[in-house]
Amino acid sequence: IQEVRSGRPLHLCQRPHAHGCSSVYTLVAQQTHKAAAMAQVMVQSSAALAPTRVSLQKPASRTVAVAPRVCNGKAARQMMVWSPVGNKFFETFSYLPPLSENEIAKQVDYIVNNGFIPSLEFAEAEQAYAGTEITRLSQPGYYDNRYWTMWKLPMFGCSDPSQVLNEITQCTKAFPNAYIRLVAFDNVRQVQCAGFLVHRPAGVKDFLPTDKRSV
């Protein structure tokens, strides 16, 4: 039987005899094939009846982000809107009333004491605002009124604030109907670090009092 299972030929006898050796060979082979088939069925049944592994781990919960509810209905009552009509601003300190001479002197002291380079610029009222039109025959990206006219040269190495105040007075006398601003440059960082008006033309109506700038 072992030889039949292994696939080797079964030699119960060298040749068939009259006493029925061939019939014995056939009987043994049939029984062997039946035993092998039953063993295969038992193996398949055992595999089918094997317990299935069930994971007892709790599935990860899925977090869904919910946007917070936004409501500013009550806060809207406390908001104000900047009025764009006749209410133009000029750089730093535009949200404040026009600076007094004493306040301008303090700003000049700050600029000089920090080693910045002061410079004065001026422009007539109708040319004080940058326009959207591009001047023909000019450099690429140049817009009218973006740059104001410089008063003399920047005051390099100035260490006396009174010199700056004196130049402001002279520029105001020469161009009383122009806007005049003081700018300051940082020669280390190579940037402009200050810029504010020191004179407004008399009678201009392009800005409003601080209590009427917002509605």
185 within 8 A of 88, measured Cβ to Cβ:
no
Tell me the per-residue pLDDT of 63-116, one tens digit each, with 9 for 90 and over. 777 777 777 777 777 788 888 887 877 777 877 888 888 999 999 999 999 999
Q: Is the pTM of this model over 0.85?
A: no
Count Cβ atoms within 10 A of the Cβ of residue 69 and give its class: 0-12 exposed, 13-18 middle, 19 or more buried: exposed
| Dihedral sign (CA 130, 132, 134, 135) | negative
**Amino acid, single-letter form, for residue 47:** A
Question: Residues 135-149: pLDDT tens digits?
Answer: 554 455 555 556 789
Given pLDDT bands bounded at 50, 70 and 90, which one contains residue 31? low
| Backbone phi, psi, residue 45, to 5° | -65, -40
